[in-house]
Homo-oligomer: A and B are copies of this chain.
Amino acid sequence: MSHIRGRFEKEADKSVLEYTESVRYDWRLYRQDIAGSIAHAKMLARQHIIEEGDAKDIIRGLEAIRDEIEEGQFHFDTKLEDIHMNIESSLIDKIGMLGKKLHTARSRNDQVALDLRLYVKEKTSQSISKLRELQSALVSLAEKNKEVIMPGYTHLQPAQPVLFAHHLLAYFEMLQRDIDRFRDCLKRVDVMPLGSGAVAGVTYNIDREFLARELGFSQISLNSMDAVSDRDFVLDYETAASICMMHLSRLAEEIIVWSSQEFGYIELDDAYATGSSIMPQKKNPDIAELARGKTGRIYGRLMAMLTTMKALPLSYNRDLQEDKEGLFDSIDTLLSTVEVFSGMVSTIIVRRDNINKTLKSDYILATDLADYLVRKGEAFRSAHSAVASLVAFAEKMGKLFSELSIEEYQRFSPLFKNDVYSITIDTSLAARNGIGGTAPTQVERSLKAAKRVLDEDKR
């Protein structure tokens, strides 16, 4: 920090240094920072702002620093506050006065915006890839268990029979939207801010389009004040991550419920379950629980950043330094969760016997009975009402639908005929044969479509 204290008479208090330093966490921007500086040096030379030879020395110096960092040889100094100053200071150590020229036509404000944008771009793409892997795991689990029928739940009560694969593909759709959302983020983060200077632009004849090309950006920022104070791209990532984590928390909840002895629908692979410190008989779905818990963490990071940004006057304020730790944590948490879910999902063992048990009660066919009456001419609401009474009666008698006599049926509607007995779980499934329905042909179609999406992406 000393180098920017020129005008000050006193050293910063030690607790101040600790309070303000960020290299503890922003060191991980080193690759982006160096890439940005290399492009900047090239541009300065190209525009004759510095000498060609100077640029080459600067670039060589920066590359050497990158190597040192990657080899664990670099000494990060919290007194130098952040990754940018650590690198610049080391560059000056390495190549002398020349190093002091690198910051020409640049401010830390546009530099940090650049580094963070480069980082978020990369991590957003990585998030998309990981989500693709999880989609693959879902599809492969669905494929493996294509014939498994389970109750479709509403209110955690069995409602209508569905294919297990159909249930899993609901998550495929959610993740598809997540990917779509992350792609929208990519669009907005893909803006090159360098040249905005501290707030007003720079006084040199720089070439921003060149910088954008060098660094792989498709657009440049259009207002310097906005460019140095905009962190929408951080919020964009954090909102996409929050919604994605919400989806994962739903899957986590189902995995936990399905793993319970009472449901017993699935068993987790030993590699993805944990034992108990005191109860040797336990096999706990810890991964799913942790993921469910970490949902809070990701929401909290979003809320933190929204709060931090609230009511900040333009342009750069130090509050913005709070953007990074939360973002990094959101990224790490999301990536590791998606990764570990891919492993967990693809190794799930489905306990068909247990699932079948839950389908023994055929009250789950009640909607089909109502639809039957409608087809015979009853109005839907009246049909619904008749079947509701039929269920109450059957329950009281302790009988399944299939155990009721036709006379008993007819007490509730004269439209019931013997063909009512032909309604089964299988006919129920097959009948839901519109796009998006659970009929086996539809689910088969969806699985194919899903695989096509995954394949196309690979190419």
Asked whether any CB of chain B lies closer than 8 Å to the CB of A446, the reply is: yes
A interface residue count range (under 10 / 10 to 19 / 20 to 34 / 35 or more)? 35 or more
Residue of A20, A104, A313 with most partner-chain B CB within 10 A: A313
Contact B246 A159 (CB under 8 A): no
Asked whether any CB of chain B lies closer than 8 Å to the CB of A4, the reply is: yes
Contact B276 A159 (CB under 8 A): yes
Contact A380 B256 (CB under 8 A): no
Q: How long is the Cα–Cα vector from A416 to B1 in the complex, in angstroms?
A: 27
Asked whether any CB of chain B lies closer than 8 Å to the CB of A257, the reply is: yes
Q: How long is the Cα–Cα vector from A226 to B180 in the complex, in angstroms?
A: 16
| Known A-B contacts A104-B380, A155-B282, A382-B100; A19 and B295 likewise in contact (beta carbons under 8 Å) | no
Q: From A240, which residue of chain B is reached at the shortest CB distance? A: B239
The one of B167, B296, B381 that contacts A103, using a Cβ cutoff of 8 Å: B381
**Chain B residues with Cβ under 8 A from A455's Cβ?**
none
Q: How long is the Cα–Cα vector from A38 to B259 in the complex, in angstroms?
A: 37
Q: How long is the Cα–Cα vector from A393 to B280 in the complex, in angstroms?
A: 12
Contact A261 B322 (CB under 8 A): no
Lowest 3 CB-CB distances: which A-B pairs, in order?
A201-B437, A300-B304, A6-B388
The one of B18, B171, B225, B387 that contacts A167, using a Cβ cutoff of 8 Å: B225
A3 to chain B, nearest CB (A): 7
Contact B289 A173 (CB under 8 A): no
Q: How long is the Cα–Cα vector from A200 to B443 in the complex, in angstroms?
A: 11
Contact B160 A20 (CB under 8 A): no
Asked whether any CB of chain B lies closer than 8 Å to the CB of A252, the reply is: yes
Contact A166 B223 (CB under 8 A): yes
Contact B313 A156 (CB under 8 A): yes
Asked whether any CB of chain B lies closer than 8 Å to the CB of A23, the reply is: no
Asked whether any CB of chain B lies closer than 8 Å to the CB of A121, the reply is: no
Contact A275 B159 (CB under 8 A): no
| Known A-B contacts A108-B278, A157-B284; A100 and B380 likewise in contact (beta carbons under 8 Å) | yes
Q: From A392, which residue of chain B is reached at the shortest CB distance? A: B7
**Chain B residues with Cβ under 8 A from A322's Cβ?**
290, 293-294, 296-297
| Known A-B contacts A198-B279, A300-B300; A434 and B314 likewise in contact (beta carbons under 8 Å) | no
A171 to chain B, nearest CB (A): 8
A163 to chain B, nearest CB (A): 9
